[in-house]
Amino acid sequence: MLYGGKPNVFYLDSSAKDLRRASWTGSAWAFETLDGQSVGPNGRTNEAVGQYNAVVIYNGGPHVFYHEDLNNYLRHAWFG
């Protein structure tokens, strides 16, 4: 997906059970954990997440929908 004119990839980190984002800075890839077992508070879960993710641009920002394993929830993250 293109966001800010640059490629962004949202994916499941299967070893950590996290939802991750890779974004192209123009010269290198930058990586961040969005949700899952290795991140903290602010609406984030400590459960295995990230499978079956889908991304849409809404109101100018990415909205990511993804699965949380333990409770079988659909989760939603956004930024922008």
List the chain domain ranges: 2-78
d(CA 40, CA 7): 26
Q: What is the reported pTM?
A: 0.88
pLDDT string in tens for the chain (80-residue length): 899 899 999 999 999 999 999 999 999 999 999 999 877 777 888 899 999 999 999 999 999 999 999 999 999 999 87
Map tokens 């004119």 to a residue.
Answer: 5
CA nearest 13: which of 67, 51, 69, 52? Answer: 51
Class of residue 49 by CB neighbours under 10 A (exposed 0-12, middle 13-18, buried 19+): buried
